[in-house]
């Protein structure tokens, strides 16, 4: 029951994009890497801003509600939680990378 409830809430809050869809659109908005800083430094998607999921509440007011937000983490679980938190805070244009960074095959910055 709880899993189904969370799944439906997440579906309303965030749109999951394939890597191709993510690449085609993320330059139009804010791209947020939700992994911890030490992991971010080992490699991240070009143009990403590091806001660890554990610190999202501290930085939420620094995000623009008038721009799309593209989220990714290591395997998509943290981005779903972050999307729910952002949606609750009034953000509506939210996207996440399908499969997370571990499935990413595009360019990265180290």
- With 80 as the cut, is the pLDDT of residue 66 above it? yes
Task: Please give the Cα distance from 23 to 42 (Å, whole number).
Answer: 20
Rounded CA Rg of the chain: 13
What does the pLDDT read at residue 56?
A: 97
pLDDT at 9 over 90: no
| Phi and psi torsions of 106, nearest 5° | -80, -175
Q: Is the pLDDT of residue 16 over 90?
A: yes
Q: According to the model, what pLDDT value does residue 51 have?
A: 98
- The predicted-structure confidence for 30-56, as pLDDT tens digits, reads as follows 999 999 999 999 999 999 999 999 999
């Amino acid at each position: 029951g709880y899993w189904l409830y969370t799944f439906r809430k997440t579906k309303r809050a965030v749109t999951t994009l394939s890597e191709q869809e993510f690449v085609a659109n993320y330059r139009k908005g804010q791209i947020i890497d939700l992994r911890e800083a030490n992991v971010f430094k080992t490699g991240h998607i070009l143009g990403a801003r590091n806001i660890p999921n554990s610190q999202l509440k501290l930085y939420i007011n620094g995000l623009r509600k008038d721009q799309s937000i593209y989220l990714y983490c290591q395997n998509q679980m943290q981005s779903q939680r972050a999307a729910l938190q952002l949606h609750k805070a009034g953000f509506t244009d939210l996207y996440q990378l399908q499969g997370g960074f571990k499935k990413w095959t595009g360019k990265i910055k180290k």
